[in-house]
Structure 1
């Protein structure tokens, strides 16, 4: 028997929201997506960078990104995916060194042999581990120190924590850090080679494909149309209020960042509102640069330099061929940190200095264009036992589901994870019967 069509509001048109709407439309329902931005994509959205359409924030794909690769095939976009053997580097003690394979580790200058062996063993075992539950309530920096020792932690890890999480760096979940190590480790097609993927046209290719599929099946996507409030009456969802007025829906699925939920759904039970209020996020100021020539030969460059307040940078055109050369330099920090209030030019000046230090062959004239983008809720701060403190996605209001990238902890935020989770969330929401 064919399922009865339901009219379901989806809040947010990032990858998770689009995946929810796509699955609902596939299953014969009528999703209506509300998006505050003037384009779909959220953190994957593209912008016009001096004639180049490119994401505001970098993305790459791993061979383990099954949900992403599956939806590409469904949309007929699989042939636009390309895999590249990429390189990693490490900037340490004013020296650019290879990184990311056993030989690079053994020849790394500035670290003793025992520290190298302990670091390598930890990375290898993390890649092989499948069960994250024993790490869920373990604090990450202590876990890493116990495995790799004080020397390797100081050289290879400390600044990565300090310049992403600042005061929060000593209270992060080991399960969350482990999932990042494993994802990159499993992107290798041999012990000495890593393989990452890019999509022709970037993430916009996927976003356009999802949007077209949703609309072809009768769904709607309303841009520049933020939801103002989810209306609840007698413990049930009634619909959504926007600037245009009230609109009735059978159900609502929110995929906007969790810090917005309390404002969107003020009538939630006080205990649930308190759970949302306790969640913290890291902000990002991400500088994207056009260069006349490469900075290095690496896609990913980790950085440990007392003169640079970044944990690393991404030389994107060493993955996806672009002319001119493009790199991303993310500055992570808590949104309440004074640095987040500094003007864009402060960050642009830092990037120029850092790049010319890493590659002394660069001069001012090599910088063709630079832009800075900001995202206040870029990264959830996942402390030990994080999942235990999240309200369930199915909230104690009939017809209401709430989730964002936090909900697939311990996996880090990513397009594939958002798609997989979003499709599952759509099926769960559509299958749930509401009280008569």
Structure 2
């Protein structure tokens, strides 16, 4: 079978990301979108093989035995990248309750047709979020991580802990080899596919770094079209260890100027590694991990690739408001602010409104919430919220620079609203901006 590195855009890639845009190497959302479309495009190729992958029978049986040893004969199992449903069908036949997810609409259609009693959903593996009461006792995933850039593997694995119960079992299969990057092949009708094959021991190291304890592993050699593929299957258990706070505290310092705890730029990776390695994190620790990724992005903002990588890791860690359980104002404020930075305005509004319920009339929350409303083009709410912040008693405690930024933003909200409003609104916007700018002119940029 002929394989070649992809050095220029195919028609499919051009359709997805622009005619002259390079294929992404870090942006996981874009990578998986192209991968899913390629699977959709080539789903008719080797259709029977998609549903009769007997090479997986042995590792699947090992996975089932591990669950039975934990007295989980009816375990609730998530099958990530379930494809045409062969693995889900295998586990269902052995009494397990399976939910299969995939991003390929065509693969899911085939899975539903092949396994009528199965539960299949179109969900991306990098956005796994469920309420705590709906978490799974086990996760099964093969040939999923081979479509993830190496620099994101640990973070993807760590993010899966959100949907896996404590001491839950994870079964992961990957290909062993040296392929790494975009390729096309005749088998895929020359459509682009991203591959990251693993070195021996690489998957085990990634699992341990992500907070799992390796229980067992096996190698399987499969043959396809006269070629052989060596696959590694690793079975691991979600660690029950909490954060090593003694070591973590060595990286955290109190900034007298900023009046908050912070981590020195050179210690960011070490602090993040400790948080990823922990089996479970409190909501506050989850928020701290996200904030550390935000600091990492700021530190590396002059290096485009490193900046994008930090932003990708932040996106993997951010929880949706529906899955976050906390009564801590700082947690909700931090998560809302980070959603805001990623232009995820609806999530930002949900988080910040929750923060405001915990502490009504909190200045920073009101300011960020007004920006989130503006992001949703709800300028009436943005203006009203900013006016509330403007007249708070604690206004006297904020700096002139913060006050100037508040008035500057308010003027922009009026202007943006006026673009689809009346001339009177436009006049009001200009007048308000000029009035407030005159008061704090030296602080405006």
TM range (shorter): under 0.3
TM-score (norm 1): 0.26
Task: Compare relative contact order (CA 8 Å, sep 6+) and give the higher one, 1 or 2.
Answer: 1
TM-score (norm 2): 0.26
Larger helix proportion, structure 1 or 2? 2
